[in-house]
């Protein structure tokens, strides 16, 4: 039987090789997985032209995935440096790489990335439009915007952020609301500006069916961008954000009707006490579609440490049901991240995702912690380092401060609780 997309196959009762691969990795029943793909509650972003892909699933009952943002900009346009970052991100077990390139040889970078990356690749065509078309924003036509989407799909991009929910009604809310930080989404701000400059409807909203045609042809998952995500805690859960979310719910159903897989993007900056409610609201209004959160950052005052503010919010969001975390680095709001910034962001995001997976009861999540706890009980430092989320750092810390006795550390020495309990329970003398 023929099928166009993973969702189309799932609705027909077909189990694809991508579904089989995801089910094996996640330790879930492939028949259940297929049903959830058919319902739109799980997405398997897998462009037909991304031949190096190791498929991953995002959604209900699966492990929380993390995304890493990379790419070249006008001020930092070293493609080779970004390729090195991509390879390191994959080594650090990132599930997705989002190419946010907005200057220079964007297509060269994107195609190289897709050629070797086993991780799913995402892009924001809106970022690429001005540079690729070599035109001022105001003079780009709706057809030209769609041509950029088509080019990304042809190149093999697995999921694309499309800010289709920012229609003229939503834009009106933004102007009425007088937000503290207005629109902080780069793609959203460009579209808002284009709409205002041309007095026209958002082309991705007006010609949404044409966007879906492209996505269906290449099996691109549409990641419905939240142009009105809050850019500060003060703006969280306001009318602009919620109005756009309602539109995104409508667009989700339209995509599913065309067998196009959907991920819905979410906040942003948000106080701790609003996160769980926002996840529940998104899942309700967007009919259980996978939820991709950009943080959320739980305070606005920690530049240089925003990987921590993001990990706190991300853990809460994922435990409440969010499925996909976008990493944030210590350099957020300040500069393009370095290799070390990227590593810190990935590790922080992976910690948040794993903590949430334990809370959600994801198969196998608790097993990893139990293995670590057993290694601690056995005072097996080599095993602890091997099991750690960042063996390089934990091994470095151990080597930098070696104890007198190998079965202790320099914190407790012979007063190690694990050593004391192990001896006394074995009927041995305790020599402090």
Residue 6 maps to a domain = no
Residue 349 shares a structural domain with residue 373: no
d(CA 311, CA 347) in angstroms, rounded, equals 9
* Domain-terminating residue out of 360, 385, 403: 360
Residue 182 shares a structural domain with residue 133: yes
Residue 381 shares a structural domain with residue 269: no
- Residue 382's domain comprises 365-425
Residue 83 maps to a domain = yes
Residue 132 has pLDDT above 90, yes or no: no
| Mean pLDDT across 350-376 | 97
Is 127 annotated as belonging to a binding site? yes
Which segment of 94-108, 162-176, 195-209, 297-311 scores lowest on mean pLDDT?
A: 94-108
Residue 271 shares a structural domain with residue 410: no
pLDDT at 88: 95
SS3 annotation, the chain = CCCCCHHHHHHCCCCCHHHHHHHHHHCCCHHHHHHHHHHCCEECCCCCCCCCCCCCCEECCCCCEEEEEECCCCCCCCHHHHHHHHHHHHHCCCCEEEECCCCCCHHHHHHHHHHHCCCEEEECHHHHHHHHHCCCHHHCCHHHHHHHHHHHHHHCCCEEEECCCCCHHHHHHHHHHCCCCCCCCHHHHHHHHHHHHHCCCCHHHHCHHHHHHHHHHHCCEEEECCCCCCCCHHHCCCHHHHHHHHHHHHHHHHHHHCCCCEEEEECCECCHHHHHHHHHHHHHHCCCCCEEECCCECCCCCCCCHHHHHHHHHHHHHHCCCCEEECCCCCCCCCCCCHHHHHHHHHHHHHHHHHHHHHHCCCCHHHHHHHHHHHHHCCCHHHHHHHCCCHHHHHHHHHHCCCCCCCCCCCCHHHCHHHHHHHHHCCCCCCC
Is 80 annotated as belonging to a binding site? no
Is 76 annotated as belonging to a binding site? no
Q: Which residue has the higher pLDDT, 326 or 104?
A: 326
Residue 342 shares a structural domain with residue 369: no
Residue 38 maps to a domain = no
Is 409 annotated as belonging to a binding site? yes
Is 163 annotated as belonging to a binding site? yes
Residue 169 maps to a domain = yes
Strand partners, 162: 224
Residue 324 shares a structural domain with residue 418: no
Residue 108 maps to a domain = yes
* Domain-terminating residue out of 325, 360, 395: 360
Residue 341 shares a structural domain with residue 388: no
Is 185 annotated as belonging to a binding site? yes
- Going from the C-alpha of 78 to that of each of 70, 83, 84, 266, 344, the distances in angstroms are 12, 9, 10, 30, 21
- Confidence at 361, pLDDT banded by 50, 70, 90: very high
pLDDT at 396: 95
Is 292 annotated as belonging to a binding site? yes
C-beta of residue 353 within 8 angstroms of C-beta of residue 92: no
Average pLDDT, the chain: 95
Residue 406 shares a structural domain with residue 353: no
Residue 119 shares a structural domain with residue 252: yes
Which segment of 207-216, 323-332, 411-420 scores lowest on mean pLDDT?
A: 411-420
Residue 306 has pLDDT above 70, yes or no: yes
d(CA 392, CA 396) in angstroms, rounded, equals 6
Burial of 65 (0-12, 13-18, 19+ CB in 10 A): buried
pLDDT at 58: 98
Residue 157 maps to a domain = yes
Residue 177 shares a structural domain with residue 282: yes
* Domain-terminating residue out of 342, 360, 378: 360
pLDDT at 1: 66
pLDDT tens column, 18-72: 999 999 999 999 999 999 999 999 999 999 999 999 999 999 999 999 999 988 7
pLDDT at 432: 81
Residue 229 shares a structural domain with residue 121: yes
C-beta of residue 390 within 8 angstroms of C-beta of residue 401: no
Is 269 annotated as belonging to a binding site? yes
pLDDT at 303: 97
Is 345 annotated as belonging to a binding site? no
Domains of the chain: total? 2
Residue 147 maps to a domain = yes
Is 352 annotated as belonging to a binding site? no
| Entry field: residues in the chain | 432
pLDDT at 290: 98
Residue 76 has pLDDT above 70, yes or no: no
Is 27 annotated as belonging to a binding site? no
Residue 228 shares a structural domain with residue 373: no
* Percent of the chain clearing pLDDT 90 (strictly above): 85
Is 77 annotated as belonging to a binding site? no
pLDDT tens column, 145-178: 999 999 999 999 999 999 999 999 999 999 998 8
Residue 26 maps to a domain = no
Is 398 annotated as belonging to a binding site? no
CATH number at residue 276: 3.20.20.540
CA–centroid distance for 15 within its chain:
25
């Amino acid at each position: 039987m023929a099928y166009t997309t993973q969702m189309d196959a799932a609705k027909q009762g077909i189990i694809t090789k991508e579904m089989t691969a995801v089910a094996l990795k996640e330790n879930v029943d492939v028949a259940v997985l297929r049903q959830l793909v058919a319902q739109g509650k799980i997405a398997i972003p897998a462009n037909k032209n991304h031949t190096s892909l190791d498929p991953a699933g995002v959604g209900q009952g699966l492990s929380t995935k993390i995304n890493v943002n990379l790419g070249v900009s006008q001020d930092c346009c070293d493609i080779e440096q970004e390729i090195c970052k991509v390879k390191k991100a994959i080594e650090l077990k990132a599930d997705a790489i989002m190419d946010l390139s907005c200057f220079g040889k964007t297509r060269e970078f994107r195609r190289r990335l897709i050629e070797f990356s086993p991780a799913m690749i995402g892009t924001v065509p809106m970022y690429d439009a001005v540079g690729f078309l070599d035109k001022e924003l105001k003079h780009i036509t709706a057809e030209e915007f769609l041509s950029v989407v088509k080019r990304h799909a042809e190149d093999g991009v697995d999921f694309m952020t499309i800010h289709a929910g920012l229609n003229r009604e939503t834009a009106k809310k933004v102007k009425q609301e007088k937000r503290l930080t207005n629109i902080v989404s780069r793609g959203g701000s460009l579209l808002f500006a284009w709409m205002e400059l041309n007095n026209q409807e958002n082309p991705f909203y007006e010609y949404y069916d044409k966007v879906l045609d492209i996505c269906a042809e290449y099996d691109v998952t549409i990641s419905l961008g939240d142009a009105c995500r809050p850019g500060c805690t003060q703006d969280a859960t306001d009318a602009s954000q919620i109005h756009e979310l309602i539109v995104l719910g409508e667009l989700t159903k339209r995509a599913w009707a065309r067998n196009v897989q959907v991920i819905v993007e979410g906040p942003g900056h948000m106080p701790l006490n609003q996160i769980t409610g926002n996840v529940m609201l998104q899942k309700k209004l967007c009919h259980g579609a996978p939820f991709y959160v950009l943080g959320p950052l739980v305070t606005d005052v920690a530049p240089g440490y925003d990987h921590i503010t993001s990990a706190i919010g991300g853990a809460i969001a994922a435990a409440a049901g969010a499925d996909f975390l976008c990493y944030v680095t210590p350099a957020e709001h300040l500069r393009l991240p370095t290799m070390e910034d990227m590593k810190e962001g990935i590790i922080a995001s992976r910690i948040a995702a794993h903590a949430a997976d334990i809370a959600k009861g994801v198969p196998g999540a608790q097993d990893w912690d139990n293995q670590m706890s057993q290694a601690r009980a056995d005072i097996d430092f080599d095993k602890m380092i091997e099991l750690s989320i960042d063996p390089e750092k934990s091994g470095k810390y151990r080597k930098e401060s070696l104890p007198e006795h190998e079965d202790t550390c320099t914190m407790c020495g012979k007063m190690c609780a694990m050593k004391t309990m192990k001896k006394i329970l074995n009927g041995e003398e305790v020599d402090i």
